[in-house]
Amino acid sequence: MHPPGRRTATILDRHAAQSRLDTIRSTVADLVASESARLATVLRESGDAVELWDRDARADHHRKQLSRFENAGGGLLFGHLGMRDDAEWYIGRMGLFDPETRDPLLVDWRAPLSRAFYTATPLHPENVSVRSTIGTRGWRVSSVVTEDLAAGGEGSTTGPSALMAAVSHHRTDRMSDIVATIQGEQDRIIRAGLRGALVVQGGPGTGKTAVALHRAAYVLYEHRDRLAREGVLIVGPNPDFLSYISEVLPSLGEDSVVLTSLHTLLPGVIAEGEDDRDVAEVKGRLDLAKAIENAVRRHEIAVRAPYVVTLESEQTVRIESRDLAALRTRMRRSRRSHNEARPVFERLFRELVARMLLSTAGRSVEVEVDQEDVEDFAEELQLDDRIAAAIDELWPIVSPEELVRGLLSDEKVLAACAPMLSDDDRALILRPAAAAWTASDIPLLDEAAALLGEDPRPGMRARARERAEQERELEYAQGVLDLYSDTTTDDDGTRASSVTAEQLAARQRQDDRGTVAERAEGEVGWTYGHVIVDEAQELTPLALRAVLRRCPSRSLTLVGDINQSSAAHGSDWDTLLRPQLRGYTREELTVNYRTPSEVMDLAARVLAHIDPTQTAPTSIRSTGEAPEIVRVPYDAMAAAIAERAEAYLSRSEGTVAVIADAELLPRLRSAVDGLPPGQSERMWFGSPRAAKGLEFDVVVLVEPGWRSERGVAESRELYVALTRATQRLSILHSTPLPPELTP
């Protein structure tokens, strides 16, 4: 018997799901054909210049629509809602309407109507009678898992839980989306408002990264008008991570997001390495921002004695130090960045020289120097190479790379610019000028770029060329309009168009700026409408400053686990964020979908050592297989790894990770020598720091007690390494185990 007033739920079967998927496939094919035809029609259009000015815009629209439909696949459909009022909705990765009836064939997963798919429960059904998760392979339905919510959760289910099936599936070298299995606490975070900073604290396996990516897709959908202009930036911990997540957003229908890591945050600069933890900690302090500022000021009229410049005419000008100091003060009060202030300095310096020369020439008759005469004389001095050399010496154009190299490679310069650091700290960050950039150098370079600004000279030349080109375009456009007005009139004899030559030239000018994402990636000063940082606990204070510089609105999503932080600054979120981010909202993910309970029980002992007040996230699954802890002679370590890797890879399509101290990895890589290519390609080698944010079916953790020092940072790295496995964990050691792992 059903409760009074409750309608009988219609259980979705595979036949009905397949029928809908067939309709979707047919509709998508029709849309591809129609958009192709429309694009071809637009591109064939001909006519006068005035009427065709919008052709490129319309063609671009049809190209985007065509690409959207061509990239659609069977995975478009993944859900179904049967409502108590007999309505039913199919949920998918994009919205789709029947072209003739305009009935919805598919509701976008981000639309408000879809939210009940993720949040409805038997206790709070949200008007849902039945909810079904649809699995597909290509354009064929492979499974339908149905929950009868109106029956209190005791109704029909077909097959295993969709969530359990998803989290138990083997891992690959690419992350997949979780759009079909988003859970309630994840959905709440994904759909949170755009205003302000949101911190998402989540332990291992809680889906932090997936939530961050789905939030990016959601905010672009919900706030398209704003974010389409400004873009969304996602900052990951390392390049491996970016490769791992690269396919998720396109699968969710979004390709307008910039993905980067600290290694590539600054356009034109790529960090090739990592500093040791103590070096990175010093470079990441906010004090270094002041050191960079001091280094910039060393390039701004640094002379203290009178400055003498001899012109090509052999006239000599002696500029007193007080005049130079007054000029420097005037320049700094202008609040322009160093390089962008250069044209102003050039003008003021030439006027100073001109005024002094004119004053000397007229001193005998005591006449006042006329400003117009000064400006005319200063313009003549533009051709004097010795004046140009003096300007280069007093206010040189400096690149961020040049400034930071000079600071970190010169002991005396570093001491003068960073007196707030101890001698030991300065010795730590001192490096050869030719050394490759590291990830912790990038915030220093970014700080320098912000204070220096860009060299204005290429831009000035480009603007001059652009003005000349615009003048040519305007002349051509006027000729077109003159011809058009001679041959085309309305019935009353008036001209058929009121378009001006300026408007026509602007319309015909090619816009080669590209998409928002393309422009943002190449522009140093670009600011975004929203910024998402994954593994945010790894941000140093100076790196956080670089992130905030890219988001003046402070619309941020910071995702991470403070207990996995590898640096001293990450003891808690307030310590990391409050000095620069006054307010933020905090959400917490509490359910571990990835790590089996057997592995998490072991990792929880390490977490207790890190912070006894912390509680590990609750694992929802168990493999029935306890972690393997085996003592192995060091010389036999590679063979032991190969044995375990071959046993798993020969019967599975999953992945195996070997995690060890970076010092040990070169020797351990010989474990793949005897494996077939298909198996060796599914093995990954890296340090705990490099493994952060990644997940693998099997993890072989080697020599966790290799380093004798045992601080909180080392325990956090051990916690990271232990929690990368989704199926099985093996710990191989020849040295004593850390106390937390000792039976």
What is the pLDDT averaged over residues 451-477?
Answer: 68
Pick from 261, 295, 279, 523: nearest CA to 399: 295
What is the pLDDT averaged over residues 595-616?
Answer: 92
Distance of CA 160 to the CA centre of its chain: 36
Pick from 696, 619, 421, 503: nearest CA to 50: 503
**Do 706 and 737 contact (CB within 8 A), yes or no?**
no
Question: 473: pLDDT confidence band, cut at 50, 70 and 90?
Answer: low
Pick from 514, 522, 451: nearest CA to 266: 522
CATH code of 597-741, in short, is 3.40.50.300
What's the confidence (pLDDT) of residue 560?
93
pLDDT digits (tens, 9 = 90+) for 401-455: 999 999 999 999 999 999 999 999 999 999 999 999 999 999 999 999 999 999 8
Provide CATH 3.40.50.300 ranges for the chain.
185-267+524-589, 597-741
Query: Is 202 annotated among the ligand-binding residues?
Result: yes
Q: State which amino acid sits at residue 350.
A: R
Question: 463: pLDDT confidence band, cut at 50, 70 and 90?
Answer: low
Cα angle 511, 514, 518; round to 5: 155
Q: Name the CA radius of gyration of the chain, rounded.
A: 32
What is the pLDDT averaged over residues 465-491?
Answer: 57
Reply yes or no on whether the pLDDT at 76 is more than 90.
no
- Please tell me the least confidently modeled range out of 64-73, 113-122, 127-136, 323-332: 64-73
Sheet holding 530-534, edge to edge: 257-261, 232-236, 530-534, 556-560, 197-202, 585-589
Q: How far apart are CA 222 and CA 95, in angstroms?
A: 13
Long-range residue pairs from 423-431, CB within 8 A, at least 24 positions apart, any chain: 425/282, 428/278, 428/279, 428/282, 429/279, 429/282, 429/283
Reply yes or no on whether the pLDDT at 708 is more than 90.
no
Which is higher by pLDDT, 683 or 180?
Answer: 683
Pairing of strands 140-148, 128-137: antiparallel
- Please tell me the least confidently modeled range out of 134-143, 150-159, 178-187, 667-676: 150-159
CB atoms within 10 A of CB 330: 12
Question: 511: pLDDT confidence band, cut at 50, 70 and 90?
Answer: very low
What's the confidence (pLDDT) of residue 723?
95
What's the confidence (pLDDT) of residue 426?
97
Three-state secondary structure string covering 195-240: CCEEEEEECCCCCHHHHHHHHHHHHHHHCHHHHHHHCEEEEECCHH
Helix axes 14-44, 55-70, angle to 10 degrees: 160
pLDDT digits (tens, 9 = 90+) for 14-41: 899 999 999 999 888 888 888 888 888 8
What is the pLDDT averaged over residues 511-533?
Answer: 75
Reply yes or no on whether the pLDDT at 56 is more than 50.
yes
Query: Is 79 annotated among the ligand-binding residues?
Result: no
Which is higher by pLDDT, 254 or 288?
Answer: 288
Q: What is the mean pLDDT of the chain?
A: 83
Cα angle 565, 206, 707; round to 5: 35
Q: How far apart are CA 391 and CA 349, in angstroms?
A: 8
- Please tell me the least confidently modeled range out of 48-62, 82-96, 390-404: 48-62
Query: Is 205 annotated among the ligand-binding residues?
Result: yes
What is the pLDDT averaged over residues 364-385?
Answer: 78
What's the confidence (pLDDT) of residue 148?
83
What's the confidence (pLDDT) of residue 493?
43
Q: How far apart are CA 393 and CA 387, in angstroms?
A: 10
Q: How far apart are CA 105 and CA 87, in angstroms?
A: 13
**Do 505 and 477 contact (CB within 8 A), yes or no?**
yes
Which is higher by pLDDT, 72 or 536?
Answer: 536
First to last CA, the chain: 54
Pick from 655, 650, 647, 599: nearest CA to 627: 599
Read off the DSSP letter of residue 489.
B
CB atoms within 10 A of CB 159: 13
Q: 185-267+524-589 belongs to which homologous superfamily?
A: P-loop containing nucleotide triphosphate hydrolases (3.40.50.300)
Query: Is 206 annotated among the ligand-binding residues?
Result: yes
Reply yes or no on whether the pLDDT at 160 is more than 90.
no
What is the pLDDT averaged over residues 471-496?
Answer: 53
What's the confidence (pLDDT) of residue 487?
44
What's the confidence (pLDDT) of residue 74?
63
Q: How far apart are CA 73 and CA 71, in angstroms?
A: 6
Reply yes or no on whether the pLDDT at 177 is more than 70.
no
Q: How many helices (H) and strands (E) does the chain have?
A: 30, 21
Of 175-184, 388-397, 475-484, highest mean pLDDT: 388-397
What's the confidence (pLDDT) of residue 523?
76
What is the pLDDT averaged over residues 84-94?
Answer: 89
pLDDT digits (tens, 9 = 90+) for 142-156: 888 888 887 654 443
What's the confidence (pLDDT) of residue 416?
97
Q: State which amino acid sits at residue 447.
A: E
Q: How far apart are CA 228 and CA 219, in angstroms?
A: 10
Question: 720: pLDDT confidence band, cut at 50, 70 and 90?
Answer: very high
Q: What is the largest CA-CA distance in the chain?
A: 116
Sign of dihedral through CA atoms 605, 610, 611, 614? negative
What's the confidence (pLDDT) of residue 423?
97
Query: Is 406 annotated among the ligand-binding residues?
Result: no
What's the confidence (pLDDT) of residue 404?
98
pLDDT digits (tens, 9 = 90+) for 239-251: 877 777 776 766 6
Q: How far apart are CA 7 and CA 733, in angstroms?
A: 61
* pLDDT > 90: percent of the chain: 43
What is the pLDDT averaged over residues 637-666?
Answer: 94
Buried b vs exposed e over 496-514: b needs ≥16 C-beta within 10 Å?
A: ebebebeebbebbeeeeee
What's the confidence (pLDDT) of residue 734?
96
Pick from 409, 392, 408, 119: nearest CA to 282: 408
720, HSE (Cβ side, Cα atoms, 13 Å): 28
Pick from 351, 409, 415, 356: nearest CA to 382: 351
Q: How far apart are CA 54 and CA 68, in angstroms?
A: 22
Query: Is 686 annotated among the ligand-binding residues?
Result: no
